[in-house]
Structure formats: C-alpha cells, structure tokens
Structure 1
Amino acid sequence: MDLNIVDQFLAVFSQYLDTGFGLLKGDVGHLASILIAIDVTLAALFWLLDEEAHILSRLIRKILFVGAFAYIINNFKHLADLIFRSFSTLGLDASANTLSASDLLKPGRLAGIGFDAAQPLMTQLADLMGLDTFFSNFLTIAVLLIVWLLVILSFFVLAIQLFITILEFKLTTLAGFTLVPFALWNKTAFLAERVLGNVVTSGIKVMVLAVIVGIGSSFFGQYVTGLNGATPSLVEALTLALASLTLLGLGIFGPTVASGLVSGAPQLGAGAAVGTAAAAVGAGLLAGGAARAVLGGGASALGAIKAAAGVPKGPGNSSSPPAGGSPSGAPGPGPQRPGGGGPPTTDTVPPAWARRQHAQHQRQTQIHMVQSALSSGDQGGSGPAPDIADKS
C-alpha cells in the first residue's frame, strides 16, 4: 500500500523551497558584493598603512578566499543537494538496502510498508469477529489489536520523522543561504560558520535515519514475504510488536546520534529504552481507556435492558424484614453511630463530577507520558562551528 499523501506534501514543500533559491539569489548576490567591497577596501587601507606588509601575497590569498565563497554562493543549492544525496546514499548502503536516495524522499512508501506488515493481523481479526467466536477469543482479539496499533504507530511515527528531517534540511539550507555572504567579511563571519556547520549536521542526521529506514524496511518486507498470505500466530504477532517497538525507539531517538557524533558524546542509552516504553505504555493506556468506555457503555445498556424487563422477585424476597426492624414487625433499635447520629451510609460510590475529574486527570497523565517520550528524542545538540574567517 502506498500512502502517498505525505509524499505529495514533501514534493510541494520541496518545489517551493527549491524555487526560493532562485528568488533569493539576486538579493544574496547584492549582499555579497557589498560585503566584498567593504572587506577589500578595509584590507587595502590596512595594507597601505603597514610598511612591512607583503601586499602581493595577501592580495592573492584574498582573491582565492573571495573566489571560493563566490563559487559556494553561486552553487549553494547544488552543493546542498550533493551533500543530501551523499549522506543518504551512505546510510542506505550501510543498511545493505536496495533503496535509492530518491526513494528516501517518499515517506509514504515507508508508511505503506508498515501497513502491509500489519495487514495479516487485521485479516485474522476479521476472522475472529463473528458472533459465535468473539467472546471465546476475546483475549486473542485484544492482543492482535494492540499489536496492530503498535505496528501502525511505529511506522507512521518513523515516516513523520523522515518527513520532518528532510524538510528541516531543506528549510535550514534555504534560510542559511541568506547568511553565507557574511563569511566574506571577518567581522560577520560567525554568522556563516553556524550555517555551514548546520548543513553538515543535518546531513549526518539524514544518514543516521537512512540507516534506520533501510534496515526497518528490509526486515518488515522480508516478514511480509515470509508469511506468504498466511495468518500469523500469536507468538509471531508478539514478535512483530517487539520489532515495531524497537523501530519506534530508533525512529524517535536515532536522530540524536547526529548531534552526539558532532559533540563527541554518546546519546543513546537506557533512557531511550525507557522513553520508548513510556510512549508505548501511554498510547496503550489511551487505547485502554477508550476500550473501557465502550465496555462501560455496553454494561449500562445491559443494565437498562434488565431494568426494562422487570425481573419478578422471588417468594423469599417479599418476606424479608425491613432493615433495622425486628422479626415481629415492631420497629427495633437500628444500628447507631458512635456519636449518636443516624445509621451509617453504605453508598461509597463517588459522585459523577469526581469520576469525570479523575478520568480527565488520567487522560492528561497518559498524554503527558507520550509527549515527554517524543520530546526527549528531539533534544537539539551543539553543531560544529568551523573557523572560516580570513586571517590575511
């Protein structure tokens, strides 16, 4: 199955961002010419004031420096695309996958692989949903439904992560294109240093995600092929759930490897496993709350049916004495509270507003668990800042 709606979004965004380079090229060139004029004029004045300056050698270095950045500015889009294709191809080659860099620009294809992997589970669920088999296979149905949700959730999150990573690379490249000319003057070179470092870091992030996507698509593609149309057993379904959770954890926390590689510190550990489990548990609790609501509605409907049916009382029920009375019918001394008040109440059910508030608090806690797990995988790291200032 090809869920190409994400591919269409990415194609539209990429088209507009690629057009932005052409629209901004004139303004960027004008800014570069102004900064070149300022830098060369100030450098020439300093050289004239310095009697021992080797003007010819410094002039040659200045020309080479300006020429190199003029080439980068004029071909910035082509160089950025080359970096993206290089890193994505390296990641896919490392995963021994037959995907290409152009296939990486189709996150919907990845979501389709997850849907195909979960389709046999849905087929088996449909076979167990008969009136005579539902209650006898209720536990199996619940397990298969949870596994199906985990597989779909894992691949959808990974597809969205891939979409955001590619879009982040293109957005930062376009925004950084306007800052590259500031490298032509020493006093503003720090603005361009961060841009070039961000492009490289984003490329490493694409490479790491390409490895995860390549391995995940190969494994689940082989899983679907190995089933050969047969319905998976309960053990195979749980194995598929474990593999999906592993892929979900890599999709959430894998891109932080890029920032760890640049900063020189490892980023993954037990916290990544705990975060993945928290995201899965939070999503499971939300699904369980919805299931409990459905079951509660069914129980209420059965109670209403019984009340409407008017079940008659037995003969023993009519002869039971009233509470607090004696067997002869005379009013006896009912049970008293220690303080001398009336009889103690046996109604311990909380009011409706308290139950609603408790349920709302539980939902907020579960949503917070999922949000915390997902946000912990998006922690930004420090990027490289190469020194590109002209020392001449």
Structure 2
Amino acid sequence: MQLAMVAGEASGDLLAGLLLTGLKQRWPTLQTHGIGGPRMAEQGFEAWWPHQKLAVRGYVEVLRHYREISGIREALAERLLQERPAAFVGVDAPDFNLGLEKRLKTAGIKTVHFVCPSIWAWRGGRAKKMAASCDHVLCLFPFEPALLQQHGVAATFVGHPLADAIPLQPPRAASRAALGLAEADEVVAVLPGSRRSEIQYIAPAFLQAAALMHRQRPSLRFVLPISPGLREMIEPLLQAHAPGLPLQLLDGQSHAALAACDVTLIASGTATLEAALFKLPMVIGYRMHGLSWQLMKRMRYQPWVGLPNILSREFVVPELIQEDCQPEALARATLRWLDDRPAAAALARRFDDLHHSLRRDTARCAADALAQVVQA
C-alpha cells in the first residue's frame, strides 16, 4: 500500500502523524510520501519537501511566496501522476491541496481530504470546489458531514485525533516536574503561533503583554514552546520586547507547556483547541497583515475566530483580534483568569464535555473510511 500525503504546517503535521498511527496498524507495510514534517517522519513518512514550505497564512503573505509554492505543487502533481499511489490524502492546507486533489481525481487517483475547511465560518463557496476535488472528506467535528452532504460531498465524522492523544486528565504534576516548575508556581504559557508570519505579527504583542504581567506580578513564570526553525526569530524579539522576563523557551513541548500552565495567551488556530482539551482558560489573540485582515473580515459568517468559541457557539474565552490585540488588553484579560478561579473551573467543566464529544478513536475511524475509498 502506497499513499501520498501533504500536510502544510505544524498543526497539519501533528494531525497527519496521529492519522498515520492508525493507517500503519491497518497496513503494517504502508509506504507514505509527499510533503510533511517531523511527526509524520516518526511514522516512516518520506518528505519530498518539508512542511514549512507551505506554512504561510494571509493573502499578502501567500502572494510573496506564490511562485515557489506553485512550483512545488506542479512538481508534486507530476510525480504523483507518474507513481500513481493508491490514494492521496490532503491534510488541511485547502488552498494548496484542493487544486492538487482535483487534478489527481480527474486523472483517476482516489483523493481524501482530512479536515473539512471551515466553510461554516467563511468561504462557503469552497464546498463546490470540494465536490470536484475530493472522493471523501474526513471531518473533525460532528456537524460537518451533513453540511458537506448538502453539496454532494461524501464525508465521515472521525472525531478529532487531538481528543484521543490528549488525556482527559492533563498530567499537570508530571509536566511541571519535567519543566522544572514548582507546584505552587503561577504559570502562563505563551503560544504566538507556529508560522514565521505569526511570529512576526503576533509575538511582539504577546511578549510585551507578558512583560506587563510580570511587572504587576513578579512571581509569575512563563513558558514559550517554539516550533522547529523559529528560535532565531523568537530570541531577538524576546530581548527587544521583554528583556529579563522569567520566560523558559522550549523546543517543541507545547503539550507539556499546556499541561503545566494555569492560563495561556495563545494565537488563534489549532493550538486553541489543544488548550481547550487541556481544560485551560485562555486569551486568544491574532494579528496579520492589514490588507489580509480586511479581505478575510469581509468573508466571515460568524462573530467567533477561535475554535473553542466556534464549537461552543459563544464567547467562552476572550478574543482580541487585529487592532484589539494590544499588550495592555492581552495582559489584563490573562490576569483576569488567574483572579477568577470559579470561572476557570466552570470553563474546565465545559471543555471536558467538549473533549468527550470529540473522542472517537480517530486513527481507526479514519483508516476504516480510507480503506473503503481505496477499495471502492
């Protein structure tokens, strides 16, 4: 069995790595190749290009890298059309994957898209493109298959692999011990994103907010997990915006940071769902290039940006986006969670219900669905 896969950034690499565990249980001699990262490599995946090549968000940022990304997609398509894998699995990254999937499907190669694009949040027109591109969609959230089926797209709810990977009871004590944190420490996890553009636009405000919190409460401890290849961006920003801050830089270890902390200041994205599964109070912040924001804002269908709020259908955690993503506001909202422990406890109970609803043994369910597509 040979499968081709593309995961375009750290979150996609994480999801694909978890998916591969289930696929290899079903097909022990499975061979996989394409575009991916270290989590996929741990499962024997052969990366023809690293996933960081596709880790770009925002219209302006994509335009800057368009020629390189377009060249990679063309070269990948030509290679897959020659090798003809049993199926292609596009993991998220819809702007890259859907066009590739359409070309492969037209040529008779089975195509599966893992992670339904947020057509319920913005860019609903993608549903028609998906019908032409995907033989099947593996959905992370229970309401998505019915929505896709309205547009003629076959889909299966497979649960969220993070809900399986993250324990229902977070290993707080063990994680604190591993990171050298005392049980009595008040700890803030700072997660400014996994893309270079996110570090550029978001990290300065987050670090300034952390410095403000430290000045108000000198006993606070801070941890910041760094995605591969981004340390050289983070360290100068730390010196510029928060010199002397008691902040521990971690290579990876985002789950250890989330398990160990009391609250997180976090960029919008998959990481916010991870934080919710760790039952954490959080403040969601995000910034991007101004033109990209204006274009995206016009296409939004709902008031929420963060996944915990979207899934809850209300603002259960604060969102400070674009002009509102200011250090003072971020610091104030983060400290408020530390001061209101009953509210944090109520939020944890709500996130526990969410966790149970998304637990479905995703690796097995996805492998079952993919097997049906391949054998059809």
TM-score per shorter chain, which class? under 0.3
Looking at secondary structure, tell me which structure has more helix per residue.
Answer: 1
- The structure number with the bigger radius of gyration is 1
Between the two structures, name the one with larger relative contact order (CA 8 Å, sep ≥ 6). Answer: 1
- Please give the TM-score of this superposition, normalised by the length of structure 1: 0.19
